[in-house]
Homo-oligomer: A and B are copies of this chain.
Amino acid sequence: MTQLVISGNYAQSYAAKLARVHVVSAYPITPQTAIVEKIAEFVASGALPAEYIKVESEHSAMQACISASALGARTYTATSSQGLLLMHELLHWAAGARTPVVMGVVNRAVAPPWSIWTDHGDTMSQRDTGWIQFYGESNQEVLDTTLMAFRLAEHPEVRLPAMVTEDAFYLSHTVEPVDIPGQDQVDAFLPPRERSSTLEVGKAMRLGSFTGPEHYMEFRHKIAKAMVRTRDVFLEIEDDYARITGRNHGGLLPTYKTDDADTVLVTMGTATTTARGVVDAMRADGHKVGLAKLRTFRPFPVQELRDLATRVDRIGVLDRSFTFGAAGAAFTEVAGALYAAPHHPQLRGFVAGLGGRDITAAMVREALLDLLTRDGPESSWVELKSRTEAS
């Protein structure tokens, strides 16, 4: 293990290298470029004996990964925003073909207007594609989770693609200290991929196929079940990772100071860090506030949220994206998950930080205070000229 001060992007590149990926296929897009540039360097210097397929679009990047994975290779790609959207059909494909591709995504706002800054609109709109989704809060978490993602995705009970996201600039271009596990540690944690459900040379086997109403639904149900199993498999894997590296990032819905909290803010990505500081500060003022981080959005931590809901009176959900004609996706899904819970805390949605707008401590504090003391709208946009009801 060594410690380096590196960016979230490099955390991704190092993870891919440590995972000994066979095939990388990627296309450049700001702010993801440093990930693949670093991988290109690793390959050029011989540090990573992988094949880096330089494709002509993200669509092809994902197809190349799927096809390589179908034959049994460990594959990695990285993208962002428009590139991710262009992959959309293939994202569905990777899940349907049960190819455990791992992908780093830098969360960036969607055009038009063009924006290279962060928000979660790009990955949120992939929430229906069958990918496991991890949202990163720090460069360390990005690196660790990417390594775990390979093992999870390839797990025989899972066999699903997984993405690990990081907020544009707030992680992708922010350097901070990161523990890099040793190759021996990683090798112990992440064995070579098992070649199950892959093509075999010389055999009559068609992966993909064509089917009428008689089988399709069952194949979908298998994915649904695999995604359900993902939760427990991941918890096991994280334990194992902790055993080897000493680090555990707290499962699907890590919480902070929620044990005695009456009010909890649900966050994703880097806003969590800032919010943690706010929680500390507000605790100092005597407010019993806490934090729960949606580390995974797929599988959605329904059980964890329900457990949380039994203990608190008020929950705020901070969304860094918005679904037009509905509300923030995290807000809607938290509400949906808690509907069947025995206890119904007050629930409020806050939309903030779109297109790279800072989510400041003041904003988070204001949202929490609002939640604590006022009767605001069910869902509101934070820090527009004027707050407006929007759903």
* A residues neighboring B (CB under 8 Å): 82, 85-86, 88-89, 92-93, 95-97, 109-115, 117, 121, 124-125, 127-130, 132-133, 160, 207-213, 215-221, 223-225, 227-228, 230, 297-300, 302, 321-327, 329, 331-340, 344, 347, 353-358, 378, 381, 383-385, 388, 390-391
Contact = CB atoms under 8 A, between A and B. Distances in A.
Contacts of A212: 115, 117, 355-356
A213 B298 contact: no
Nearest to A115: B216
Contact of A339 (B88, B97, B338): B338
A370 to B, nearest CB: 16
Contact of A220 (B86, B219, B354): B354
Given A210-B113, A215-B113, A298 B322 contact: no
Contact of A216 (B88, B109, B383): B109
Given A298-B324, A326-B127, A357-B213, A218 B336 contact: no
Nearest to A128: B125
Q: State the copy count for this chain.
A: 2
A110 B223 CA distance: 13
B340 A117 contact: no
Contacts of A325: 130, 132-133, 227, 230, 297-300
Contacts of A381: 217, 221, 224
B96 A110 contact: yes
B326 A216 contact: no
**4 closest cross-chain pairs (CB), A and B:** A216-B355, A298-B325, A88-B88, A125-B128
Given A124-B128, A217-B353, 10 more contacts: A82-B89, A92-B111, A114-B211, A127-B323, A128-B324, A217-B381, A217-B384, A224-B390, A228-B390, A326-B336
A324 B95 CA distance: 10
A300 B326 contact: yes
A213 B82 CA distance: 17
Nearest to A59: B86
A114 B340 contact: no
B344 A115 contact: no
A141 to B, nearest CB: 20
Contacts of A215: 113, 355
A125 B126 CA distance: 7
Contact of A88 (B85, B327, B344): B85
Given A113-B210, A125-B128, A213-B358, A340 B335 contact: yes
Contact of A85 (B92, B97, B109, B378): B92
13 contacts: A85-B92, A92-B110, A95-B324, A96-B110, A113-B211, A113-B215, A114-B208, A227-B325, A302-B391, A332-B333, A332-B336, A332-B337, A335-B339
Given A128-B323, A298-B326, A388-B221, A356 B213 contact: yes
A113 B335 contact: no
Contact of A209 (B112, B207, B209, B210): B112
A131 to B, nearest CB: 8
